[in-house]
Structure 1
Amino acid sequence: MAYDFKIRSAVNANGKTAYYAKITGLSTPEFFIAYKTKYEERFGLYNSSVTTNLVYKATDYVGKFGFWAYFIEATTKVESQGSFLCLNTYDRAFFTFGFMQFAAHVPNGDFVRFFRKLLTLPNAPDYFPRLRLIDGRIFYKNDSGATSQLENDTSTIKLMEYLNPTTNEVEQQELICSARFIHWASNDEKHREVQVEHSISLYKENMKKYSKRLNLNGYPAKVCFMVCDILHQGRGTFDRISYALDTDSHEKAFQNLCTIGNTHYATRINGVKAHIKKLEQAGIFNKKYKADTNEFV
């Protein structure tokens, strides 16, 4: 059954416009979607709320994913405080979702691959009845049954506009798509598992690529993690990272990496350092990377 979301807005005591949704025809409660915001010349939504039962914790997934569950954890903390519901629609990506902030503007990027996986879940038609996976690509199906492709190897603009038609204003389609993602992540453990599995897969794939380029075999987990976090956020280049690693001390390499982007991103860098230190003190993050198996041992 395709869900029909009824949207309402309200202005709260501090002047923010908040949006809420309810599924028509069901007795399920109304839920918060997001607040309206303006960023530069763009308007959109953001949801940075943290709900206890909807926050990523490595301990919940270590049984399935082993050390990799811990390896991504610091990034989830600084990206979204680990919130499975983290949303923004106000920047150049048009639509960003999840605790790792998957962004819709990159062809074959993290959001596109994440969304493809979501559309394989049995309840996907309940949330996105118009979307289909055809030959591994996302398509839109109209009333007549004709399909049109929303993303390919060079562009996601049609997918971006499906999720969020413009950034000139907050629009009904944008609200509906946001409500779908928020409700789905809130109420379906499988959706959250896809977020986790995709995030870990992303960092595992990246470690293979980064190790080949930077020769990371034998480096401590914290050095490898910092490389991944820098490139995930985009606060540094491979050349800058290579320069930071050019030392005979792994600890010095880590400290060098921590200086990349510190002028603008000190809060994030301090956040990941603090979380890594906590994991080290717990005896969890004291592993080294083994390139031939793409594992930490």
Structure 2
Amino acid sequence: MKIVGFSLEQGNKYFGRIDGARFFIGSRVPFEGGKGLMNIVGTAVQKYNRADFRSTYGFWADFIHPTAMAEGALYHTLNTYDRARFTFSFLQYAAHVPNGDFVTYVKALLQLPMASEYFPDLRIEDGRIVRIANEGIIILESDTSTERLLDYFNPSLREIEDTEVIQAAKLVHWAQNDPANRLAQVDIGIRHFQTKMVEYAARYALDGQPDTVCLVIADIRHQGRATSATILAALQSANPLKALLDIGEPRFHQRLLVLRREINRLIEEGILGTKKYSTAKKDFVNL
């Protein structure tokens, strides 16, 4: 079992120690009257690299790249200060969504060989994440709620609790030290986008729409920065791509700068701007 030690240094930085190795957990940040942790610091080798996954996932490895870059791209990207209470991974999987990507991610982690080392009190029973406690088995999530799972990872937004730091430290260390953890993140992320594109194609009539338009819609929905009505209005404009990329300005200006930059980079590389979505294939096909 991994024993976590941690310390608060330099006023607002938490550092952890597992197996004798010291590492950065996250910075203490205030947000809307509360406090939480944030970790968006890392090296290039700790970031998602689309080239590493093209042989397995093809075009989809590139399709998620702009969103990954906008979300931090680090496999240990961490945020515990906003309404989601706990987001983690290179695509920032959010723990507040029932049956969402974070729930799927934790379930995948619990099937890895190192699961009992990091979270010996968690397991999967009847398809649900449960905690083995002194009082018995506690179901942490359902089709309608992840409240107990949130309590397990981050008891509140009011303050940074020891529990929050320890659970964050485990996930950061695991992601940094186990390739299987990182592979799980990527597989879940790509499968999530593939599944969601089927849904978006039906909702927004995206059959035959270019890859760039589909990508921005997927990013909008991933972040949750606009309603379907706003997306549909943008699609009906004279320049749908520009209209979609303007959604969220000026509040999310920095994210949109990253998104535009990475989309343009993929266009210049001849990767984007070459495909359209096919509802029949449930995939992208050549123009």
TM-score by length of 2: 0.95
Q: What is the distance in 1 between the residues matched to 2:118 and 2:251?
A: 38
Aligned to 1:7: 6
SS of match in other structure, 1:264:
coil
Q: What is the distance in 1 between the residues matched to 2:219 and 2:83?
A: 21
1:253 aligns with 2:243: no
Aligned to 1:130: 121
Q: What is the distance in 2 between the residues matched to 1:271 and 1:36?
A: 24
Counterpart mapping for 1:223-242 below 5 A: 223-242=213-232
Report Cα offsets for 1:191-230 as digits up to 9, x if no partner. 0111111111111111100101111111110000011111
Aligned to 1:292: 280
SS of match in other structure, 2:246:
coil
Q: Is the deviation greater in 270-279 or in 68-77? A: 270-279
1:17 aligns with 2:4: no
The one-letter code of the counterpart of 1:74 is P
Counterpart mapping for 1:1-297 below 5 A: 2-11=1-10, 16-23=11-18, 26=19, 28-80=20-72, 82-143=73-134, 146-247=136-237, 252-285=239-272, 286-297=274-285
Q: What is the distance in 2 between the residues matched to 1:43 and 1:268?
A: 22
SS of match in other structure, 2:7:
strand
Report Cα offsets for 1:17-59 as digits up to 9, x if no partner. 2111212xx4x42111111111111111111102221100111
Q: What is the distance in 1 between the residues matched to 2:2 and 2:231?
A: 47
SS of match in other structure, 2:225:
coil
SS of match in other structure, 1:133:
strand
The one-letter code of the counterpart of 2:89 is G
User: Shift in Å at residue 141 of structure 1?
Assistant: 0.2
Q: What is the distance in 2 between the residues matched to 1:278 and 1:86?
A: 23
RMSD: 1.3
The one-letter code of the counterpart of 1:127 is Y
Runs of 4+ in 1 over 3 A off after TM superposition: none
SS of match in other structure, 2:250:
helix
Q: What is the distance in 2 between the residues matched to 1:267 and 1:95?
A: 22
The one-letter code of the counterpart of 2:45 is N
The one-letter code of the counterpart of 2:178 is D
Q: What is the distance in 2 between the residues matched to 1:22 and 1:184?
A: 12
Q: What is the distance in 2 between the residues matched to 1:141 and 1:198?
A: 25
Q: What is the distance in 2 between the residues matched to 1:116 and 1:157?
A: 16
Q: What is the distance in 2 between the residues matched to 1:62 and 1:259?
A: 29
